[in-house]
Amino acid sequence: MIKQYFQQAWAQLRQNPIISVVNVTGTALAIFLIMLVVMTQQVQVEPFAPESNRDRILYYKNTSVRNEKMWGADDSSNGCMSVQVADQCFRTLTTPEACTVYITWNVTTPVSVPGQPTFSVDLKETDDVFWRVFDFSFLDGKPYDKATFDAGLPVAVITRSVSRSLFGTDRDVAGREFLLNHAPYRVSGVVEDVSTLASTAYAQVWIPYTSTDTPKDVDAGGIMGSFSCALLARSRADFPAIRAESDRSVRAYNEARKEEGWEIFMRNRPYDQEKNALASSSNNEPDLEGARNSRLMVYLILLIVPAINLSSMTQSRLRQRVAEIGVRRAFGCTRMELAGQILAENFIVTLLAGVIGFALSLLFAFTANELLFSQGFSRTLNPPMVDASILIHASTFGWALLFCFVLNLLSAGIPAWRAVRMNIVESIGGRLH
């Protein structure tokens, strides 16, 4: 039966080449556009190295603090937290598997070796737990450990491209020295280059924040600073327990500083990956439901508009099969069987066009990645780097197949329903009303 559907679909394509080309092209473009929308969303939420644990991470990217005694009831300070807050409120949590603290924004910093020109890299300052939360692929050496971090030793993990620019190779460079912002640092390890799309883990050089004089707190009674933290759960099912424990920890911190008037409030933090990707400001909670509804509207528009045009083409093809439909009805074929065959045949054509559209979307994503994945706010001038592990997931194929199926129903459903409800005598006579 399935073979027959393929044969019939192929015959229909050959019988009406112009309509077939227009039909396949229109469907392919629809899938192409909608998959681009899906991919721009997936790079923000789907896991890929070194952020392979995205589905198990909760983020405290920012915090909010108020002091009614000093500022009044309506004023607050919003932004990154201090190390003190991270240590007392979040590093003490027992439910998460790990908690890492790091400088929120990368800093462009000069690096060099004697006798070579200086160039700039994107620098991130982290703790030692950072290397447990994020899964980097080490080519040489290893990450800095707790002892090194606690001692504040000047060591660094660098990317393959930085290693090659500094030393001409990415092998056997662990232990070698280079100048970072004119201060000597020793290479601890070399990792694969990281895409800027890995918004939290990305950098070109990573160092312990204890090795620098970066202020560990900046303002608001030592609460505000330059740091964020990420909590790695053992499983996503632990999210409610982690949120509950972190709320208790923040309340205990607030109670300890009640006399001073300082109070941290979290705006429903910590956020999961999807919500964290939407968090464009520190003083507003992201509207997750609104963002999902907006994407749904885009999907519907990109599906319904081409479906209306394709529906008329499907109706035109069915007009040429009126007699065939009438004869099959006369020999006992049910309406459901006929409708199922028409939808199946059209789905094969839609699937063929969907494969073309999906392939085009992948090609466009790889060749125009800087245009497609440009970030609204970034402190690096490096273009977003994409590869197959970032774009291609099981869910990507699932979405493409789902959109093909829905587009098929929308474009062929009404013509199929009209065709099978025709009068048998008029159908055999070749008349379609």
Tokens of 40: 């721009």
Is 135 within 8 Å of 207 (Cβ atoms)? no
Cα gap 12→174, rounded to integer Å: 64
Reported as a single tens digit per residue, the pLDDT across 132-147 is: 999 999 999 999 999 9
Average pLDDT over residues 8-19: 65
Please state whether 152 falls in left (phi above 0), alpha (psi between -120 and 50) or beta: left
pLDDT at residue 140, as a whole number? 96
Dihedral in degrees, nearest 10, Cα atoms 251, 252, 256, 257: -30
User: How far is it, in rounded angstroms, from Cα 353 to Cα 340?
Assistant: 20
Question: Is 119 in a helix, a strand, or coil?
Answer: strand
Domain regions of the chain by residue span: 2-48+289-428, 62-270
pLDDT of residue 85: 94
pLDDT value at 219 more than 80:
no
Joined tokens for residue 429: 């006579």
DSSP H or E segment with residue 246: helix 239-256
DSSP assignment string, 131-166: HHHS---EEEE----HHHHHHT--EEEEEHHHHHHH
Strand-pair category, 107-112 with 119-126: antiparallel
Higher pLDDT, 124 or 10: 124
pLDDT tens-digit series, residues 298-348: 888 888 888 877 776 666 666 656 656 666 666 566 767 777 777 777 778
Q: What is the pTM of this model?
A: 0.84
pLDDT, tens digit, for every residue of 76-123? 888 999 999 999 999 999 999 999 999 999 999 999 998 889 999 999
Q: Where are the alpha helices (DSSP H) in 46-129?
A: 68-71, 83-85
Q: Say if residue 158 is exposed, middle or buried (CB neighbours under 10 Å; 0-12, 13-18, 19+).
A: buried
